[in-house]
Amino acid sequence: MSDDEKGFATRAIHAGFEPDPQTGAVNVPIYASSTFAQDGVGGMRGGYEYARTGNPTRTALEANLAALEGGSYGRAFSSGMAATDTALRAMLRPGDHLVIPDDAYGGTFRLIDKVFTHWGITYSTVAVDDPTAVRDAITDATKVVWIETPTNPLLNIADIAAIAEVSQEAGTKLVVDNTFASPYLQQPLALGADVVLHSTTKYLGGHSDVVGGALVTNDAELHDAFGFLQNGAGGVPGPFDAYLTMRGAKTLAVRMEQHCTNAEAVVDLLAGHSAIATVIYPGLDEHPGHDVAKRQMRRYGGMVSVRLAGGRQAALDLCARTEIFTLAESLGGIESLIEHPGAMTHASTAGSALEVPDDLVRLSVGIEDTADLLADLEQALG
Ligand SMILES: *Cc1c(COP(=O)(O)O)cnc(C)c1O
């Protein structure tokens, strides 16, 4: 059976590594070796020479991630930002333009706005929940359309297939940051994307114990360009990080099911609570992106945002009072997290068009017992 004939959970557990022929080890070893002995000059034994160029633990992870996205090629990086930086440098040259979401991940926006603009790259921001707006933002100089869906922290939904069509017609490449959905819930390559990006720090790693990134594509030229920069610029993960990420990815299917189940229960509780003004979740019928999300996602994910009826102070109080939901940035781990985007992850957007409401609280719903999470939120809301 080839990988693409297997179900998602089977691929997650098996793709990328066969039991070691010598020892029978069922898991990929952590190859803590920076260099590899050669049999005579240029005589590589297993295709490896130096670990920036390639390391067997990283190779296993890369094959695993490619299989999970239904893609031909994967590349792993030391962080989501290293993957972002690599994709941008591989796909853009001075004079080129790219289109990004008006609520892009803050680090992505910062890298483009504070670094790439110095190298002759220009960009436009658009509301990516409107494919027509994306088309209107594309110019003759546009080489890349970059989207996220769902977005952070307002969970807006972009129609990947519609934007892929727009970008193909214009002759640009489409990159989808699939971090929030994970490959279990959403498969952008099958919907027409050229490249899928992950911060594997989040759901793929899934245990808040490792930082990493990935790029997956079916385009051999882009894959080569990403590999050239892995070796040429060096933003690669070490073997222990690659191992931890692959260990996390193996359980993605069961974790995502429980993240979704718990998030749905949290949404039910909060939607009926007098302290909550609005619940934002793509699974709700009234969410403006619900129909698109229903088409392109398996379920609606573990991220829930709420606006408090009592305004900013009520939002800060909720963050202060939860006991199981830990007050922290980041997301996608097995443990539930709570944060105030306006004062934490999105503080840098204050005063800009990207500013988030100050009564907003973002929950990364973990996989603890559902009843305990609900009880925690209820006591914290008072
Ligand atoms: C966290 C995140 C990134 C950046 O990834 P790091 O692993 O933190 O470098 C990029 N995009 C999204 C949507 C993220 O949540």
pLDDT tens-digit series, residues 253-283: 999 999 999 999 999 999 999 999 999 999 9
Active-site choice (103, 159, 177, 194): 177
d(C-alpha 84, C-alpha 262), whole Å: 30
Q: Taking 90 as the threshold, does the pLDDT of residue 46 lie above it?
A: no
Q: Which CATH architecture has domain 3-247?
A: 3-Layer(aba) Sandwich (3.40)
Whether the pLDDT of residue 4 is over 80: the answer is: no
The CB of 377 under 6 Å from ligand 1? The reply is no
As a whole number of angstroms, the distance between CA 211 and CA 199 comes to 8
pLDDT at 165 over 90: yes
Class in CATH terms, 253-381: alpha beta
- Return the pLDDT at 345: 85
Active site residue 376: no
Give, for ligand 1, the residue of 185, 201, 207 to mutate: max count of ligand atoms closer than 8 Å to Cβ: 201
Which one of the listed residues 31, 48, 73, 105 is annotated catalytic?
105
Structure pTM? 0.97
Amino acid 118 reads H
Average pLDDT of the chain to the nearest whole number = 96
Break the chain into its structural domains and give their ranges: 3-247, 253-381
Residues 189-218, mean pLDDT to the nearest whole number: 98
Calpha distance 179→200 (Å, rounded): 7
pLDDT band, residue 346 (cuts 50/70/90)? confident
Q: Determine whether the shortest distance from the Cβ of 156 to ligand 1 is under 6 A.
A: no
For residue 152 and ligand 1, the question of a CB distance below 6 A is answered with: yes
How crowded is residue 290: how many other Cβ atoms within 10 Å of its Cβ?
16
Q: How far is the CA of 46 from the centre of ligand 1 (A)?
A: 33
Tokens for 52, please give them: 């920036």
Q: Is the CB of 105 under 6 A from ligand 1?
A: yes
Ligand 1 centre from 83 Cα, in Å? 9
**What would the 3-class secondary structure string for 19-54 be?**
CCCCCCCCCCCCCCCCECCECCCCCECCCCCECCCC
Q: Please say if 85 is a catalytic residue.
A: no
Per-residue pLDDT tens digits for 61-94? 999 999 999 999 999 999 999 999 999 999 999 9
Amino acid 238: pLDDT: 98
Ligand 1 contact, 202 CB (< 6 A): yes
